[in-house]
Amino acid sequence: MPSPSQQINLGPSSDPSAKPSDFHFLKVIGKGSFGKVLLARHRTDDQFYAVKVLQKKAILKKKEEKHIMSERNVLLKNVKHPFLVGLHYSFQTADKLYFVLDYINGGELFYHLQRERCFLEPRARFYAAEIASALGYLHSLNIVYRDLKPENILLDSQGHIILTDFGLCKENIEPNGTTSTFCGTPEYLAPEVLHKQPYDRTVDWWCLGAVLYEMLYGLPPFYSRNTAEMYDNILNKPLQLKPNISNSARHLLEGLLQKDRTKRLGCADDFVEIKNHVFFSPINWDDLNAKKITPPFNPNVTGPNDLRHFDPEFTDEPVPSSIGCSPDSALVTASIKEASEAFVGFSYAPEMDSYL
């Protein structure tokens, strides 16, 4: 991938080399609020990609265009990190936006947790370390992730963590900066977000604590089927830790799931505090970031067409025929024209010489 300095921001459709018909869309592999993620093969270079296709109409209806542009900006900054999904290019048609991303087929962490209920501590430690490394990198770019959950954590074909879905990221948050948008996923919301108070990057460390707890115990820390009760638990119930984990894991969870963000692990020195915690003492962080540590679980995929780790609920669904074609210009309505103006600057392609 090119370095950020080589990247150029192209206006809509100014990359003539990218259009839906360049891809052979093979399978639906995921779904979100604004569209679908599809496995696609590029017709020219035969490479496999995950293509996230979003409906502009749905985004505008929910006034989410800022989040989508933010997701694109964050993806462009991810080129350097081993545990963040990479963007190859983005383009748009009159009614849809397309993100062409790394294809990761080891399955969602959520899928593996559901199948195995919980993980042994060494495996949970390995995943937590790779996730923490990715979050620390985002924080170093003044980006708060805000939506860490097992569904947004993928395993690659070797079993390494890949963080995906940057739609809720908040850019330009300085080390002591705060933001106040209420967003996230109910089970993983930090108390300060629920209180609608300003919050900072430590919100990501709370979420890391919630995901680590779930990996070790099988459910998020304050879980209840009743959302109101769960919110009350997050705000008021003391953290309860069953005795089947090590003292260092217990100490880390207590530090990350500290309800007062000013006392939470990571509040003073961010990732450095997490990295230096005794729970992570078996981890050599240089080796981790160089992917020199053998993952504790190998998804054993045979190749790009091996979809065993994707939910059949997605893969059994037919690929919509509209995905791979541009709308007929005669059908471009006023609302579609308005949509194209909302996403100026979305399209991106690396400079061609960066591939030479």
| Res. 328: pLDDT tops 60 | no
Torsion of CA 130, 126, 295, 81, to 10 degrees: 10
Which residues lie below 8 Å from residue 176, measured CB to CB, with a gap of 6+?
A: 200
Domain that holds residue 132: 108-290
Categorize the per-residue pLDDT at 4 as very low, low, confident or very high, splitting at 50, 70 and 90. Answer: very low
User: 118 in a domain, yes or no?
Assistant: yes
Residue 71 sits in a domain whose CATH number is 3.30.200.20
Same structural domain, 55 and 192: no
Residues 308 and 208 in one domain: no
Residue 81 lies in a domain: yes
Residue pair 125/248 in contact by the 8 Å Cβ criterion? no
Residues 45 and 114 in one domain: no
Q: Compute the distance between CA of residue 249 and CA of residue 226 in angstroms, rounded to an integer.
A: 28
Q: Is residue 248 part of a domain?
A: yes
- 78 and 166 inside one domain: no
Question: What mean pLDDT comes out for the span 233-256?
Answer: 96
Angle subtended by helix axes 121-140 and 247-256, to nearest 10:
30
Residue 160 identity (one-letter amino acid)? H
What's the count of helices (H) and strands (E) in the chain, helices before strands?
A: 12, 9
Residue 27 falls inside a structural domain: yes
- Comparing 340 with 160, the larger pLDDT belongs to 160
Q: Distance (Å, rounded) from C-alpha 83 to C-alpha 12? A: 29
Residue 348 lies in a domain: no
**Same domain membership, residue 162 and residue 113:** yes
How many Å apart are CA 166 and CA 210, to the nearest integer?
19
- Mean pLDDT (whole number) for 324-343: 59
Would residue 7 count as lying in a domain?
no
- Are 255 and 275 found together in one domain? yes
Catalytic site residues?
Answer: 147
Of 338, 317, 268, 355, nearest to 37 by C-alpha is: 317
Among 344, 275, 294, 304, which residue's Cα sits nearest to residue 10?
344
> Do residues 120 and 247 share a domain?
yes
- What percentage of the chain carries pLDDT values higher than 70? 85
Quick one: CA torsion of 95, 171, 17, 86, rounded to 10 degrees?
Answer: -110
Is 264 found in the same domain as 161? yes
Within-domain flag for 30 = yes
pLDDT digits (tens, 9 = 90+) for 97-111: 999 999 999 999 999
| Count of structural domains, the chain | 2
Nearest alpha carbon to residue 176 among 268, 83, 311: 268
**Residue 333 token pair:** 């309505």
Residues 221 and 278 in one domain: yes
Mind listing the pLDDT tens digit for each residue in 178-212? 676 666 788 999 999 888 887 788 999 999 999 99
Q: Give the CATH number for residue 218.
A: 1.10.510.10
Longest alpha-carbon distance in the chain: 66
73 within 8 A of 119, measured Cβ to Cβ:
no
Q: How far apart (Å, rounded) are the C-alpha atoms in residues 253 and 212? A: 8
Alpha carbon of 285 to those of 106, 143, 159, 276, 293: distances in Å?
A: 23, 21, 17, 10, 10
Which tens digit of pLDDT belongs to each residue from 24-75? 999 999 887 788 999 999 999 999 999 999 999 888 888 888 888 888 888 8
Residue from 50, 30, 115, 101 nearest 72 by CA: 101
In a domain, 1, yes or no: no
> 336 and 225 in one domain?
no
| 62 labeled part of a ligand binding site | no
Cα 259 to chain centroid, rounded: 24
Q: What is the pLDDT of residue 25?
A: 95
One domain for residues 117 and 46: no
Shared-domain flag, residues 125 and 84: no
Amino acid at 130: E
Q: What is the mean pLDDT of the chain?
A: 86
